Amino acid sequence: MFNLNLKRLGIAAGLSLTLVAAGCGSSDEGSESSGSEGGDSTNYSEEMNYEITGIEAGAGVVKAAQTATEEYENLAGWEVATSSSGAMATALGEAIENEEPIVVTGWTPHWKFAKYDLKYLEDPKEVFGGEEQIKTMVRKGLEGDKPNAYKILDQFNWTAKDMETVMLDINEGTSEQEAAKKWIENNQDKVDEWTKGTEKVEGTEVELVYVNWDSEIASTNVVAEVLKQQGFEVTITPLDNGPMWEAVAEGEVAGMVAAWLPGTHGDLYEQHKDNLEDLGANLEGAKIGLVVPKYMDVESIEDLKPAE
Ligand code: PBE
């Protein structure tokens, strides 16, 4: 994962260098803080208004961040501001442009690590958990009703690098569908493994649900395009996290490829696991945590300062 991010950083180096150079010229915060030991010597926490920039309220990473504000004594008085993944990305980009401090609820795979120089804050209390898998969940009975769709969903799996390729392409302006089609064209060998042993259909309907997180937009569009190429009539419906799990457990839709486990969606999995079918991992090496720009002189969640 980290090797991958380094490689990707190379691709975005032109952009990052510009940002860093602009930052150095406009602020001397970096030099002031470079000699410090405890972190947060420039009182970033106050500058950030003791606020973690979150995403959708229903996201697991937001819930974990809220838990962190309770578990870490030094986060007394901190709040997690919720909005959307898009708003978080905009706030992150603006903060970096001005070399201002910001803490966001972050996750990997995500294009932000290729575009910006970022780091995860250490989490000694392990509130955000360790390495995760992204798993595929389908409704009960799908195998009997729509065996070809079931098999493709079961066989779908790719790497963090694959997912990042699609995410970056979308971030750079390619439409979600076009980015998915392009990735499929360039990775036909992988796609052939997913469709292996299945037969084409004529217009069988399949509905997938997801949340508008950049990672899930990438995976869900790719799977949808593969299903379409096999003759399915595919609908993809964005929902909030809780309703996404419910839609599968209640049998309203075929399934989803967006289950982050064991930690991030652990509570939702416990709640619904008896009413859906777990088809296993479609991606290994995912992660969530608090993420900051590398120019910030803080390494651990414990370096942040409590609200006065
Ligand atoms: N995420 C991306 C999700 C799972 C996928 C990390 C934002 C969440 O926190 O629930």
Q: Is the CB of 288 under 6 A from ligand 1?
A: yes
Q: Is the CB of 107 under 6 A from ligand 1?
A: yes
Q: Are residues 39 and 95 in the same domain?
A: yes
pLDDT tens sequence across 85-139: 999 999 999 999 999 999 999 999 999 999 999 999 999 999 999 999 999 999 9
Global pTM? Answer: 0.86
* pLDDT(11) > 70: no
Is 23 within a domain?
Answer: yes
pLDDT score at 42: 72
Q: How many domains does the chain have?
A: 2
Q: Are residues 296 and 217 in the same domain?
A: no
Backbone angles phi, psi at 36, to 5 degrees: -80, 160
Is 308 within a domain?
Answer: no
Q: Are residues 69 and 137 in the same domain?
A: no
All residues at 6 or more sequence positions from 296 whose CB lies less than 8 Å from its CB, including other chains: 44, 101
Is 21 within a domain?
Answer: yes
Band (18; pLDDT cuts 50, 70, 90): very low
Band (43; pLDDT cuts 50, 70, 90): confident
Is 9 within a domain?
Answer: no
Atom of ligand 1 lying closest to residue 58 CA: 10
Atom of ligand 1 lying closest to residue 107 CA: 6
All residues at 6 or more sequence positions from 213 whose CB lies less than 8 Å from its CB, including other chains: 55, 56, 59, 85, 107, 258
If one residue of 288, 290, 291 were mutated to test the ligand 1 pocket, choosing by the most ligand atoms within 8 A of its CB, it would be: 288
pLDDT score at 218: 98
User: What is the CA(258)–ligand 1 centre distance, in A?
Assistant: 8
Residue 198, domain CATH: 3.10.105.10
pLDDT tens sequence across 145-154: 999 999 999 9
Residue 294, domain CATH: 3.40.190.100
Cα–Cα distance between 107 and 5 in angstroms, integer?
A: 13
Cα–Cα distance between 267 and 213 in angstroms, integer?
A: 19
Asked if omega into 262 is within 30° of 0 (cis), the reply is yes
Q: Of 163, 138, 148, 152, nearest to 203 (Cα)?
A: 148
Is 2 within a domain?
Answer: no
Q: Are residues 195 and 248 in the same domain?
A: yes
Q: Are residues 177 and 62 in the same domain?
A: no
If one residue of 213, 241, 245 were mutated to test the ligand 1 pocket, choosing by the most ligand atoms within 8 A of its CB, it would be: 213
- Asked whether the beta carbons of 121 and 199 are under 8 A apart, the reply is no
Q: Are residues 171 and 49 in the same domain?
A: no
**Domain limits for position 20:** 16-130+288-303
Q: Are residues 299 and 182 in the same domain?
A: no
